[in-house]
Amino acid sequence: MTRAGHKRSGRRAGPHRTCIGCRRLRPQAELLRVVADPEGSIWPDHFGKLPGRGAHLCPDVVCMREAVQRRAFSRAFKRPLQPVDADALAKNFANQARKQALAILVTALRSGFIEAGRDRVQQSLADQKKVPLVLVAEDASSGTQAQMRTMAERADVVWRQALTKKELSALHRGKPLAVLSLRHRGMAERLLEELDPLLSLEASRKSPESKSGPSTRKPREGLTQKSLRGKMPRK
Ligand SMILES: [Zn+2]
């Protein structure tokens, strides 16, 4: 039996595309798409739905720089293009992902699907079936980070460290917020679709290896993975 909306959980099984930077074949759902306007400027296609020819890239600034160096953009679009600024493109994608992630959280909060704060998250973890995702602010204290990581891993719940306390608190009507859990699976999956490319882009922009070659880091495991223990990003 197939369920409506089940499609997303099969994100690794769908169509594959080649990154024009590193030339690796990857599931399309893991790649970013760019399009070119009539004037020959490259634009991020955040939702991957703009019409016309597109080109795909890993969520990694190294691949974007490599694509620029190899003139892969004009090859992909089969016409001359304006110069592409790889770092600006990566930043643009990251900003959009951040904005979308916050928009999903606002909706989730208004719909009552979020437990805010350490104590409530801890309580909700006791009933792990209801919590597909725990989110810890990227600038949460190291004690909070360690505590939440341990708790989430023990409960076998997916967790991510992303967004800032300031951004999360703004969603929470200005009340300090560094930790939350989201108990709506569909929303959690949508959130991961924004957070994972965001984390990957930001890590590649900060990483010293981004100067020497493409990142070899494996993509993070999603909600469909049964056990996530030991596979979470560490900071
Ligand atoms: Zn790539």
pLDDT at 218: 52
Letter for the amino acid at 172? H
106 in the same domain as 57: no
Q: Are residues 65 and 147 in the same domain?
A: no
Residue 220 CA, ligand 1 centroid: distance in Å? 15
For residue 6, the model assigns a pLDDT of 39
Q: Output the domain CATH number for residue 30.
A: 3.30.1230.10
201 CA from centroid of ligand 1 (Å)? 11
Same domain, 50 and 95: no
pLDDT of 213 > 50? The answer is: no
Domain count, the chain: 2
Structural domain range at position 125: 91-208
pLDDT of 209: 60
Would 52 be classed as within a structural domain?
yes
Query: If you measure from the C-alpha of residue 60 to the centroid of ligand 1, how many angstroms do you get, rounded to a whole number?
Result: 7
Do residues 65 and 80 both lie within one domain?
yes
Could you tell me the distance, in angstroms and rounded to a whole number, from the CA of residue 59 to the centre of ligand 1? 7
Position 62 confidence tier, pLDDT thresholds 50, 70, 90: very high
Q: Which helix (H) or strand (E) holds 103?
A: helix 86-110
Q: Are residues 119 and 204 in the same domain?
A: yes
Considering the domain architecture, whether residues 24 and 58 belong to the same structural domain is answered as yes
pLDDT value for 130: 76
Q: What is the pLDDT of residue 5?
A: 38
User: pLDDT tens, 96-146?
Assistant: 999 999 999 999 999 999 999 999 999 888 876 678 999 999 999 999 999
| One domain for residues 95 and 199 | yes
- pLDDT by residue (tens digit) across 109-121? 999 999 999 999 9
Residue 17 Cα to ligand 1 middle (Å): 10
What is the spatial distance between Cα 46 and Cα 164, in angstroms, rounded to a whole number? 22
Ligand 1 centroid distance, CA of 69 (Å): 13
Whole-Å CA distances, 9 to 3, 43, 134, 144, 225:
11, 28, 18, 30, 9
Question: Could you tell me if 157 and 175 lie in one domain?
Answer: yes
Does residue 108 belong to any structural domain of this protein?
Answer: yes
Instruction: Give φ, ψ of 48 to 5 degrees.
Output: 65, 25
Q: Are residues 75 and 113 in the same domain?
A: no
Residue 104: φ, ψ to 5°: -65, -40
Beta bridge partners of 27: 16
The model's pTM: 0.82
How far, in Å, is the centroid of ligand 1 from the Cα of 135? 27
Rounded-to-integer distance, Cα 187 and Cα 206, Å:
28
Cα 137 to averaged position of ligand 1 atoms, centre (Å):
27
Query: Both 24 and 129 in a single domain?
Result: no
